[in-house]
Homo-oligomer: A and B are copies of this chain.
Amino acid sequence: MAEYRQATVFDVAKEAGVSTATVSNVLNRRDVPLSEKTIRKVEEAAAKLGYRRNVMAASLSRRKTYEVGLLLPGFVGYYGLFAQQMERTAHKYGYHLSVFSTDMDSKVERRLLEKLLERRVDGLFCHGLAMSGDSARKVVNDGTPILFFNCWNELKHLAIGTVNLNVYQACVDAVVHLHEQGCRSFFYYGNKRAFATNEQRIHGFREGLRLTGGKHPADMIDVEDIAADDLAEWLAERSEDATPAGVMCFDDWKAFVCQNRLIEGGYDVPGRFKVVGINNEFVAGHSYPGITSFNVPYEHQADMSFRWMLTHLGEQAKLEAKGERPFSPPVAGGEVKIPLTLVERLSSR
């Protein structure tokens, strides 16, 4: 198919015997009145020529791209599922989502951010930016609105708002749950490198300890400090045989590793140790024993995020036309908390 030039509005106009303006009007179904006849003529011409709109030209002319960007640390696990949902939601609202993974690398992050801004995306969603607030501010020096996910630190000031999974509350609930299941010593198995979101979990964990009476033995572990191979022994040394010990983990993958290393070490789960994760990924439901976890309401999370963004882009009118109640965003820099729900499985029974 050498050099098959794509048909343009001009070609369609000529074929249909109308002007390019009319073609554009027909194809974009605007509020202007059009005669049935011209509509048919144009549509037939377009179909015949295999016309396909050139998004770049359209965006350039309209000065709006209907594209929003999503920056993620990666695609695996939770992030992948989240990205898929965001794509669906974007489409539902007539937008196009460009997803990029930063590989947890601030250089890559910076480059992708730049790329997205060069594309003149209408808005930006960022999940777990590694770069500093200052760097980010320097890169995003235009008016492009940004929404952050799971962000509790300085970056908040850059954003029109943040949407956070309530991992704090999840950890509170987890400790309470473990206590109810008979645990009398507690561990948090975390991930320093996740920064603020790890801190949130720790606060929740502590609050859970407080709520369950105060003085049970408890300790923190981090993947950076204890090799997975030593984990089981480490936990066993610091807990007694008489009552089960509860291990609250950063996420399902940490829980998975933790649980398997315990089993490998010959410790009974959930008899001797009870394990809880977060995110309720596939691995949690299909392990043996199944891993107790917290479910993420992806659809709700994505919907909140988009409605907030669209409100900020001045698209309330469209939302309301679709029968949506206008979504009034919190004050600038405000935060939406998405609640997680406990899913009990064998690992904590």
Contact = CB atoms under 8 A, between A and B. Distances in A.
Interface of A: 1-4, 6, 50, 52-57, 59-60, 65, 74-77, 79-81, 83-84, 87-88, 91, 96, 98-101, 103, 111, 114-115, 117-120, 141-143, 228, 253, 256-257, 260-261, 263-264, 282-283, 286-288
B53 A56 contact: no
Given A55-B56, A55-B118, A256-B283, 17 more contacts: A1-B142, A3-B143, A4-B143, A52-B142, A56-B59, A56-B60, A56-B119, A75-B75, A75-B83, A75-B84, A83-B101, A88-B103, A99-B100, A253-B286, A260-B286, A260-B287, A263-B288
Determine how many copies of this chain the complex contains.
2
Given A6-B142, A75-B83, A76-B80, A120 B286 contact: no
Among A2, A87, A115, A261, the one with the most B-chain Cβ atoms within 10 Å of its Cβ is A87
A63 B79 CA distance: 34
A177 to B, nearest CB: 23
A110 to B, nearest CB: 13
B65 A56 contact: yes
Nearest to A265: B288
A75 B60 CA distance: 31
Contact of A118 (B54, B60, B83): B54
A264 B288 contact: yes
A60 B54 contact: yes
Contact of A120 (B3, B54, B65): B54
Contacts of A81: 75-76
A56 B57 CA distance: 7
